Amino acid sequence: MRVAAFRCPRRRGTAAVEFALLSPMLLGLLLGIWEVGRLVESQEILGNAAREAGRQASTGQRSADQVKQSAKSYVERAGLSSTGIDVQLVNLTNSGRGDPTKAQQLDRFEVKVRLPFANVKWIFLKQFTTVETLSARTEWTSMNNVPVVISKTLPIE
């Protein structure tokens, strides 16, 4: 008895055609993931810039302009364009003492940092989102004139 040989029809080039059809969708998906990652990274950088500015304001040793410049410098050092950046520093306890050097102990400062989304985007994410501005906000308490006591004696148990 002879066993009939079963032959598959030739499918030369099928994988290339499938790849050609799916590659635009796959590329778009990868670029979208990349852009969302960039958005999240930029939001984290703004949060860190606001936190650093708030920390400097809380010491009472830097003026309002120096605090704002430190937030702007942080953004620039992180590799983002600071074009159009808006840094606001507000004394929430007493608006008359807006400069951190004139703040009293325990005054609350609010720092807001805003950056146009156009400074951050790389590709086409703007077509899928309505985000125009990235922003971060933080609050710090002024520790201006808080005495630091250093004990010269060693604790002995």
**Position 114 pLDDT exceeds 90:** yes
Domain ranges of the chain: 61-146
Provide the pLDDT for residue 19: 87
Element (H, E) at 91: strand 86-91
**50 against 153, higher pLDDT:** 50
Residue type, position 42, single letter: S
Element (H, E) at 138: strand 133-141
**Partners of 111 in the β-ladder:** 89, 138
> Model's pTM, two decimal places?
0.75
8 Å CB contact between 56 and 66: yes
Provide the pLDDT for residue 47: 95
**Position 71 pLDDT exceeds 90:** yes
Provide the pLDDT for residue 150: 82
**Cα–Cα distance between 60 and 73 in angstroms, integer?**
19
